[in-house]
């Protein structure tokens, strides 16, 4: 089967296509794949309780993933390539053709924030998850690294 390489104009399209359209484009830069989606049932009204609960769970997972990445990313302590766990996560990211190592961390993270990579078994890479008894458990206070971007 022939492989098509998209031109730069098409690669640059991301988001909604036209003001009145329900078509959305997304380009995965690492795999050069372009996805087209049609948004059919737009939500109306405020978020439900289940949606709010899911948003809180997602926010908690993102904070734990950011903390794990900060503890394992390349630094003076961890070396030029990061910890061994970080390097394994990077290798899994490349194998899965994903664009961000955070996706791998989230995939293999349990509810307590422990990351279990398939190549090495259980490893936290020096990161200890919070015990949810501090101010972060209320969900209202900012934690260090909120909004941090992954390197």
Name the percent of the chain lying above pLDDT 90: 32
Q: What local confidence, expressed as pLDDT, does residue 139 receive?
A: 41
> What pLDDT, in 10s, does the model give residues 73-126?
999 989 999 999 999 999 999 888 888 899 999 999 988 888 888 865 545 555
Q: What local confidence, expressed as pLDDT, does residue 130 receive?
A: 57
Q: Terminal CA-to-CA distance of the chain, rounded, Å? A: 36
Q: What's the mean per-residue pLDDT of the chain?
A: 77
């Amino acid at each position: 089967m022939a492989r098509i390489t998209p031109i730069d104009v098409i690669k640059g399209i991301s988001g909604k296509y036209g003001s009145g359209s329900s078509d959305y484009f997304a380009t995965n830069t690492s795999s050069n794949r372009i996805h087209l989606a049609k948004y059919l049932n737009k939500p109306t009204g405020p978020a439900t309780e289940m949606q709010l609960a899911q948003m809180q769970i997602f926010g908690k997972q993102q904070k734990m993933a950011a903390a794990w990445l900060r503890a394992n990313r390349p630094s003076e302590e961890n070396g030029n390539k990061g910890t061994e766990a970080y390097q394994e996560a990077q290798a899994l990211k490349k194998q899965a053709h994903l664009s961000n190592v955070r996706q791998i961390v989230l995939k293999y993270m349990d509810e307590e924030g422990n990351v279990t990579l398939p190549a090495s078994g259980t490893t936290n890479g020096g990161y200890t998850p919070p015990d949810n008894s501090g101010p972060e458990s209320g969900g209202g206070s900012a934690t260090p690294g909120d909004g941090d971007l992954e390197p």
